Amino acid sequence: MVHVEEVEKLSEVLQVLANPIRLKMLALIAVKPRYAYELSKYLKLSYPLTHLHLNILEKAGFISGSYVEGPRTKKVYRLNDFQLTISGEVLKRIGEKLENP
């Protein structure tokens, strides 16, 4: 679990989750691991756009991709375990760090 204690990091995490396409991808991957092509068909997106969003989710740590061997090597994406809680206490700690760098 990642503990966000800085405004910049919190902002990055929230920006990743603020996109409805990425939220839909997370929801579909939560049901079962998915291939990029499968997600592009469900969401009616081009493959390049699907891949772009998957890279953002993977870089942020919400999903992990691994290659599956076969006639064609494919990358399957799985949901990483995460919990997102923004409490007043977390915001207070961030504020205190801003007051006293």
Residue with tokens 């902002």: 11
- Number of helices (H) and strands (E), helices first, in the chain? 5, 3
* Backbone angles phi and psi of 84, in degrees to 5: -115, 115
The count of domains in the chain is 1
Condensed to tens digits (0 to 9), the pLDDT of residues 16-56 reads: 999 999 999 999 999 999 999 999 999 999 999 999 999 99
Whole-structure pTM value: 0.84
CATH number, residue 23: 1.10.10.10
pLDDT at 3 over 70: no
Q: Is residue 1 part of a domain?
A: no
Round to whole Å and give the CA distance between 10 and 70: 39
